[in-house]
Structure 1
Amino acid sequence: MKNEFKNLMQRIYAKTKLVRGKESFFNDVNNSKIYLMLVPKHGNMGDQAIIYATIAFLKDYFSDYKVVIVNFSQTYKDFKRLKEKIKEDDIIFLPGGGNMGNLYPWEEFARRFIIENFLSNKIVSMPQTIDFRNTKSGRRELKKTMKVYNSHPNLTLIAREEKSYNLMKACFPQAKVLICPDIVFYLSSIFGKQRKKRSMIMSCIRSDKESISNDKVLLNLQKHFPDLLIDDTVVARNISNELREIEVNSKLNQFMRSKVVITDRMHGMVFCAITNTPCVVTKSLDHKILGTYQWIKNLDYICFVDKLDSDSTIKLIDGLSRRDISDKKLDVLQDHFKTLRKRIGL
């Protein structure tokens, strides 16, 4: 255990050289750079896992570039200095996720701001779900986004599921549009090999505006499984660049210690897939869970249901908790990442 912790800290120290925020882009003098911008500090561990996986991917496949981290909070307040530091041959990467749309408008505003103000740079948006609501405000914001994105001469958008791919192709004809699984799947080569003693049933159910689950189901599950751990992929604290790896590892270890997870979180499902953890997953507000499930529907320990029902969910949990899970490799998904740099055109 001591050696394992020591090795982890050594890896974290090495990575913090890449992720020091302000110091990186104010003081760095290397030539070829990738600026990973809009990096969040909030406690959504799905989003933090996206950044963790993106940095790992860039380190593996773009080793000829220096990766510079720019926090979301620096987007506006340090804009003038960013404009001075970012050269025309530098590449800007924007994080993947599920915030391209009007559900989280501040995220979309910031993405438009960068795309609109860095017209001389190649910009790559990592695997995203697009979801503009069919409302007056949703249609209005989509028009604004279409105008900005289609005005950029060198923009690559990567969708993480088929519906988003088709929408991006239709809305952004001037951009290069690709499809690739959620970048967190890239971590399967690391966490799929690890083993922990599984000792609990865990629920990971949303309580925010994306939730469509029934609270009564969770109460019934608690009655049937008294030791049910009620958890979430969101923690009530900010996550610094230096501690991101520790925090993501801690959350994934929790999944690896679970016999079964019940979730309506997309990254709850992805965390289960990459850690070989049996899972009952249901949909949330938009199409991202069902779309992402299509990449892993061959995994017999990931069970998608249209709606959580107490009796059927209990039966599924009982069955999955007794299942002997052998190694389920996600090699076919890794193939998408291996070819991604070439498909981007770099």
Structure 2
Amino acid sequence: MTARIDDPVRALTARTGAILQDLLPDGPHVALLDFPAHDNAGDSLIHLGQMAHLRRLGLVVRYLADDRTYSPTVLRKRHPDGPIFIQGGGNLGDLWPLRQDFRERLLREHPDRAIVQLPQSMDFRDPARLARASAAFHAHPDLTLLLRDERSLQRARDAFPGVRVEFCPDLAPGAGPQPRTGPATHDVLLLLRTDGEQTGDHRVAIPPGATALRTDWGFRGADRVRWDLLRAPSAIARHVPVLRGPMQGLVERSFAAIAAHNVDTARAVLSRGRVVVTDRLHAAVLAALMGIPVIALDNCSGKISAAYDAYLHALPGLTFAGGVAEASEALEKAL
């Protein structure tokens, strides 16, 4: 990697590590819960960045689980004391209610542990869900919420005045610079959301003569087959609870393989473009870590613009576009 990519990433990683060092509870052992056992490469990149940051801080994860392999009994056996960390991301709120439900469950079940919510974006739309979250958060005696942008930070401080709420950049850049998997096959790769966070059809103008490919995250063909095989241990543990303890080591190794497979597949997709246009936060982060010029558009909650203001602007080659016209202009300049 060139110094142009390495130096800003290293600086951002050092800044984030210093913040974490001051915020995290003492002790070398932790549990990390809500592993993203799905095919969203962005959440996998966050996981890899989290693990890298924890290693640099000298912390050892004694128990790792997603919401369906999690067992309070196995957690207490493998991690009898020490803090519980919850996966970072963009699901502190009611847009992804299952994630919020699991977060609140962990707070109820472990009032005796320090719990740290790793960096999140916050977006509640339903006042009833916000009130329920507030009650759960305030009921826990030792909760730290880390927010990854100023907008979310202020929302959390307003909503949860009795809870420790602090700023920390997203942990995905902690994974470090990433290599391309091959040469570009198209001038423009349009990687645009098709899920509940999309804001509509981003009709970015492609310059005359330029080739373009539109896609989104997801597995196809052999990648899907491998994904299904990697998930087998956790699938067994989910459906046969008595095996969760005996299979825990195998499940954790499969989680590591799942995260690596997701990010490797995403790198292969992003490598197909000379320039990337995306409304996925971590597609923008990963492309920047790969040294690919990337133009980022906002999602429905505004988390990309908020992240750009907070820390994304430090990544080289990443441009935020406030709309389709601005993105089209930036794309023409990039090509």
* TM-score under structure 1 length normalisation: 0.72
CA distance in 2, matches of 1:86, 1:50: 23
| 1:62-73 equivalence runs, <5 A | 62-63=58-59, 65-73=60-68
Amino acid across the alignment from 2:262: E
Partner in structure 1 of residue 248 of structure 2:
none
The offset of 1:73, in angstroms, is 0.9
Amino acid across the alignment from 1:320: A
| 1:298-313 equivalence runs, <5 A | 301-309=317-325, 313=327
The offset of 1:182, in angstroms, is 1.1
CA distance in 2, matches of 1:206, 1:195: 22
The offset of 1:53, in angstroms, is 1.4
| 1:251-330 equivalence runs, <5 A | 251-294=266-309, 295-297=311-313, 301-309=317-325, 313-321=327-335
Partner in structure 2 of residue 56 of structure 1:
52
% identity of equivalent residues: 24
| 1:179-258 equivalence runs, <5 A | 179-188=167-176, 190-191=177-178, 197-200=183-186, 201-214=188-201, 217=203, 221=206, 224=208, 227-235=211-219, 240=231, 241=255, 242-258=257-273
Structure with the larger RCO, 1 or 2 (CA within 8 Å, 6+ apart): 2
- The root-mean-square deviation of aligned C-alpha atoms, in Å, is 2.6
The offset of 1:156, in angstroms, is 1.1
The offset of 1:282, in angstroms, is 1.2
| 1:142-161 equivalence runs, <5 A | 142-161=130-149
Partner in structure 2 of residue 46 of structure 1:
42
C-alpha distance 225-182 of structure 1, shift in aligned 2 (>3 A): farther
The offset of 1:307, in angstroms, is 1.8
C-alpha distance 45-225 of structure 1, shift in aligned 2 (>3 A): farther
Amino acid across the alignment from 2:100: E
The offset of 1:132, in angstroms, is 0.2
C-alpha distance 225-234 of structure 1, shift in aligned 2 (>3 A): farther
The offset of 1:199, in angstroms, is 4.2
C-alpha distance 74-140 of structure 1, shift in aligned 2 (>3 A): same
Partner in structure 1 of residue 154 of structure 2:
166
The offset of 1:252, in angstroms, is 2.5
Amino acid across the alignment from 2:90: G
The offset of 1:105, in angstroms, is 0.7
C-alpha distance 66-84 of structure 1, shift in aligned 2 (>3 A): closer
Deviations 1:45-69 (A, max 9, x none): 1111111211222122134x34421
CA distance in 2, matches of 1:276, 1:262: 14
SS at match of 1:74: coil
Partner in structure 2 of residue 333 of structure 1:
none
Contact 2:181–2:267 (Cα < 8 Å) also in 1 = no
Deviations 1:126-181 (A, max 9, x none): 11001001xxxx10011110011111111111101001111112222332222111
Amino acid across the alignment from 1:97: G
Contact 1:119–1:153 (Cα < 8 Å) also in 2 = yes
Contact 1:45–1:235 (Cα < 8 Å) also in 2 = no
C-alpha distance 140-270 of structure 1, shift in aligned 2 (>3 A): same
SS at match of 2:34: strand
The offset of 1:39, in angstroms, is 0.8
CA distance in 2, matches of 1:214, 1:225: 22
274-283 or 253-262: which moved more?
Answer: 253-262
CA distance in 2, matches of 1:313, 1:66: 41
Query: What is the total number of aligned residue pairs between the two structures?
Result: 276
CA distance in 1, matches of 2:193, 2:209: 19
SS at match of 1:128: strand
The runs of 4+ residues in structure 1 deviating greater than 6 Å are none
The offset of 1:198, in angstroms, is 3.8
- The counterpart of 1:107, out of the listed 94, 99, 102, is 99
The offset of 1:210, in angstroms, is 1.4
* TM-score under structure 2 length normalisation: 0.74
The offset of 1:315, in angstroms, is 4.1
CA distance in 1, matches of 2:213, 2:291: 19
C-alpha distance 213-52 of structure 1, shift in aligned 2 (>3 A): same
C-alpha distance 79-303 of structure 1, shift in aligned 2 (>3 A): same
